[in-house]
Amino acid sequence: MNDNIDEAWVRTVPKAEVHVHLDGCIDREELMRLAGKYGVPLRRPAEQLFDFDGLTEFLQFLDWGASLVRTADDAASVAYRFAQRQAASGIRYTDVIINPTHWEAWRGNIAGLVDALDAGWREAEQDGLPSTGLCLSLLRQQSAAEADELLDWMLERDHPRVVALSIDGDEAVAGRVSARFADTFRRAASRGIYRTVHAGESSGPEGVRDAIDLLMADRIDHGFRAIEEPALVAEIADRGIPLGICPGSNVALGFTESRAAHPVEELRQAGVRISLNTDDGTALGSILDQEYAATARAFGWQRDDLLAIARTSIESAFCDDDRRSALLAELDAVAAGEEARA
């Protein structure tokens, strides 16, 4: 292990976060403020607000938290505070996911929600905070018609903040439903819209296979259970499909027993492109600089390993080419400094 890897050094590394949910990153103070504003009782005492017993309870909590965001000012505040959180980890760009089904006050008004969040992120960017792209996500329990409706809105509005179509939700509950959304994702691909798919967390490798074959995923969120099918791992590596891995989240929600037991290193050694991410970082008590450092300690990674992971995060982000080139140039400068130091 390289003893020089710590959170302070990680914060200096230019990187993107590409698998993080806004509804899981509303901080405790903001949740308490909004609950007080609307007279909504907390789900449990404040000090236990982020204690969860498995994925089902966790997803219910996301519904509760997002339901407190009821006005444009609320949404803009959540967006701005999220950008501040990202900056604290040294993140330069974020692809953030929102699933509109969690945001009760905004059902039927995706345009209003996106515009309100966009206002918060524009203010953040004007203040020098990291830029943010928005991935709009379907819930697996939704219908094909609802999926088409979301894509139709994305194509018609062509909002500059919206960068991708996503799908998430508990695969263990919803079942193997990717075929239901295949036509929508195929149409998105034909119109040049990026696709990112949650798979291989609460499902096994079959979920990852469906994400690739049916949903034409540009990037897979989680995907770590592909390790159970060596031929699938080889295909992912050969095709260069990046996985947005979240070891801390997988441990916290009981999908792996420990960070050291996570297959992320086995996937890396098999040639799979991986990035490290927090998933629902605030609710799960994870920030990205800690995620990098803790995972490096678990597997004895060196600084070069983390620089390679940061490179994948930038290369797999859905940002524009100019921003990607600038971030990669910044990363190259840090890598050159490391070589000189060595």
Contact 303, 5 (CB under 8 A): yes
Whole-prediction pTM: 0.95
Q: What is the enclosing helix (H) or strand (E) of 236?
A: helix 230-239
Cα 165 to Cα 217: distance, rounded to the nearest angstrom: 10
> What's the pLDDT tens digit per position in 277-307?
999 989 988 899 999 999 999 999 999 999 9
What was the pLDDT predicted at 1? 37
* Average pLDDT, rounded, for the chain: 95
Residue 3 predicted with pLDDT over 70: no
> What's the pLDDT tens digit per position in 43-64?
889 899 998 888 888 889 999 9
**In sequence order, what E strands does the chain have?**
15-21, 91-98, 131-139, 162-168, 194-199, 219-222, 243-245, 274-276
Tallying the residues shown for the chain, one arrives at 342
DSSP string spanning 119-153? HHHHHHHHTTPPEEEEEEEEETTS-HHHHHHHHHH
What tokens appear for 300 in the block?
């004895």
| Closest-CA residue to 74 (of 111, 110, 38, 122) | 38
Which contacts (CB < 8 Å, 24+ apart) does range 33-38 have? Answer: 34/68, 34/69, 34/70, 34/74, 35/68, 37/68, 38/68, 38/70
Residue 5 predicted with pLDDT over 90: no
Helix (H, G, I), strand (E, B) or coil at 110: helix
What was the pLDDT predicted at 92? 97
Cα 159 to Cα 181: distance, rounded to the nearest angstrom: 22
What was the pLDDT predicted at 185? 98
> What's the pLDDT tens digit per position in 185-228?
999 999 999 999 999 998 999 999 999 999 999 999 999 999 99
What fold characterizes domain 7-341?
Answer: TIM Barrel (3.20.20)
Residue 288, φ and ψ in degrees, nearest 5: -70, -35
Cα 231 to Cα 237: distance, rounded to the nearest angstrom: 10
What was the pLDDT predicted at 174? 86
